[in-house]
Structure 1
Amino acid sequence: MARIENLNLSQRVTNELGRAIIAGEYSAEAGLPTEAQLCEEYGISRTAVREAVKMLAAKGLISSRPRQGIRVEPAANWNLYDTSVLKWMLDSGPSLLVLKEFLQMRLAIEPQAAALAAEFGTDEDIRKIGEAVEGMKRAAADPDISMHEADLAFHTSILFASRNRFFFQLRDFISTALSVSIQHTTPAKGNDMVVAEDHGKIYTAILNRQPERAKNMMTYLIDEAMTFIEAEIKRAG
């Protein structure tokens, strides 16, 4: 039980310190409080603090060396593929700029994943993509149903259907950022059914085994989202 309690405390401290580092409250110049100070501030044991330090170090946010103490790492060393790090970044101030970078990455990956899904996806893989589209259409027709989960399922199903293991392992990363991105881009389009139908065009191309069309349709979808995000960045100054 003590081990579980320590782990839960460590996770809480990891979460709070991670957010604080990414928000700029701690920096490479200012550093982090000492172990003793963290124990006092959070009212936890050194064991729990050390667990939190290990977790943050694994995410690239800090390093801990003998006689040097705990050091905050520069942003270039952060593991952006870690879903906690990405979520903390999206929760911090410049989330629109982070979303723009995320969309640039999606443009490099998802159109190719859609093309591969059309070429190599099994009938069962493609059926799951179709189910996600149907879920989006049901949500679009019913204001009491959120489209969010079906939208995420659509994109992760395509990653799986690509039959590229490297692409599929990005599913948690893409789902985390999509959860925030959708909040900006879906309302901007103004019509949930149009959003669902645009996703349906990608599904149809994959179903008909048309790799180039699937690639182009996915490129169009993400490029349109990029236009919305860039407009928001411009409005924000």
Structure 2
Amino acid sequence: MALLDRNFNLSHRMVHELGKAIICGEYNTDGLPTEAELCDKFGVSRSAVREAVKMLSAKGLISSKPRQGIRVQAEEEWNIFDPDLLRWSLESKPSMKVLKEFLQVRIAIEPEAAALAARYATQEQIDAIEAALERMKNAEDNTPEDLDADIAFHISILYASNNRFYVRLRDFIQTALRVSISHTSPMKGNHEGIVEDHAKVFNAIKNRNPERAKHSMLLLIDEALNFIEEELASKSN
């Protein structure tokens, strides 16, 4: 393997391990290990460490300045829409509060995306939404196939909105779904009911009814949000 390729791969491994550790709260804003200490910890060269620091800085997780060393940024500086940060959040078993925030963002995006899909979706895009719904119907409850089909349904609607900004939110929505569905579907415990709720969204889009599509998607996400809020309330009592 070429030295450049080797350093690139080592840097990415370090980015993943150190980034996830920061997300999990293993380091605070007081600072990170020195460059030399990071070389020893991860068994990489200084060039690999410097490349990893650049990548983590671009994600807003850390800063590196002369005479200040490498420091963890305050959480509000993190680029939480970055796909890697989203994945690390998922892998770190996020709190119910984070799940609630995920759903609050979804409820601000997906109903309008459904309304746009009812207006502007092509027949091919409507077929893709229907195909995902059929996969949901045929999948066993609370299985990886069921989860993947559910996610495909929602992502297909983002594409069907034909709005480039909504489409670019697909990584965020996909991660939010993968986190929240695995919690809320078992709470509802009614696979047929879940499929029926999704079918209402699809039928409204297929029938070119933007208001009904928007309302149906709003109800679908709001129910999941209610489940999360009820669990949060029970834990605070």
Do the two structures share a fold, i.e. TM-score over 0.5? yes
CA distance in 2, matches of 1:14, 1:232: 34
CA distance in 2, matches of 1:208, 1:105: 26
| Equivalent in the alignment of 1:216 | 215
Per-residue deviation, 1:122: 0.8
The 8 Å contact of residues 10 and 49 in structure 1, kept in 2 or not, is answered as yes
Q: CA separation of 1:118/1:85 partners in 2, compared to 1, >3 Å: closer, same or farther?
A: same
Q: What one-letter code is carried by the residue in structure 2 that aligns with 1:44?
A: V
The 8 Å contact of residues 142 and 182 in structure 2, kept in 1 or not, is answered as no
The 8 Å contact of residues 100 and 230 in structure 1, kept in 2 or not, is answered as yes
CA distance in 2, matches of 1:171, 1:84: 14
Q: CA separation of 1:144/1:92 partners in 2, compared to 1, >3 Å: closer, same or farther?
A: closer
The 8 Å contact of residues 87 and 177 in structure 1, kept in 2 or not, is answered as no
CA distance in 1, matches of 2:144, 2:94: 30
Alpha-carbon displacement from aligned partner over 1:38-94 (angstroms, at most 9, x marks no partner):
001111111111121111111100011233221211001000101221222334365
| Equivalent in the alignment of 1:22 | 23
| Equivalent in the alignment of 2:13 | 12
- After TM superposition, the structure 1 = structure 2 runs for residues 8-157 of structure 1, keeping only pairs within 5 Å, are 8-28=9-29, 30-92=30-92, 94-140=94-140, 146-157=145-156
Per-residue deviation, 1:143: 8.0
Q: What one-letter code is carried by the residue in structure 2 that aligns with 1:128?
A: A
Q: Between the two proteins, what is the percent identity of the paired residues?
A: 59
Considering only aligned residues, what root-mean-square deviation do their CA atoms show, in Å? Answer: 1.7
- TM-score w.r.t. the length of structure 2 is 0.94
Per-residue deviation, 1:139: 0.5
| Equivalent in the alignment of 2:4 | 3
Which SS does the other structure have where 2:145 is aligned?
coil
Q: What one-letter code is carried by the residue in structure 2 that aligns with 1:153?
A: A
Unaligned runs of 5+ in 2: none
CA distance in 2, matches of 1:138, 1:80: 34
- TM-score w.r.t. the length of structure 1 is 0.94
Per-residue deviation, 1:197: 1.5
Identify the range of structure 1 (88-97 vs 11-20) with the bigger mean alpha-carbon deviation. 88-97
Per-residue deviation, 1:232: 2.2
| Equivalent in the alignment of 2:165 | 166
Which SS does the other structure have where 2:139 is aligned?
helix
CA distance in 2, matches of 1:11, 1:108: 33
CA distance in 1, matches of 2:116, 2:151: 19
Which SS does the other structure have where 1:147 is aligned?
helix
CA distance in 2, matches of 1:82, 1:179: 16
Which SS does the other structure have where 1:146 is aligned?
helix
Q: What one-letter code is carried by the residue in structure 1 that aligns with 2:133?
A: V
Q: CA separation of 1:224/1:24 partners in 2, compared to 1, >3 Å: closer, same or farther?
A: same
CA distance in 2, matches of 1:114, 1:93: 29
Q: CA separation of 1:166/1:18 partners in 2, compared to 1, >3 Å: closer, same or farther?
A: same
Identify the range of structure 1 (59-68 vs 32-41) with the bigger mean alpha-carbon deviation. 59-68
Per-residue deviation, 1:158: 0.4
The 8 Å contact of residues 89 and 95 in structure 1, kept in 2 or not, is answered as no
CA distance in 2, matches of 1:136, 1:191: 13
Q: What one-letter code is carried by the residue in structure 1 that aligns with 2:16?
A: N
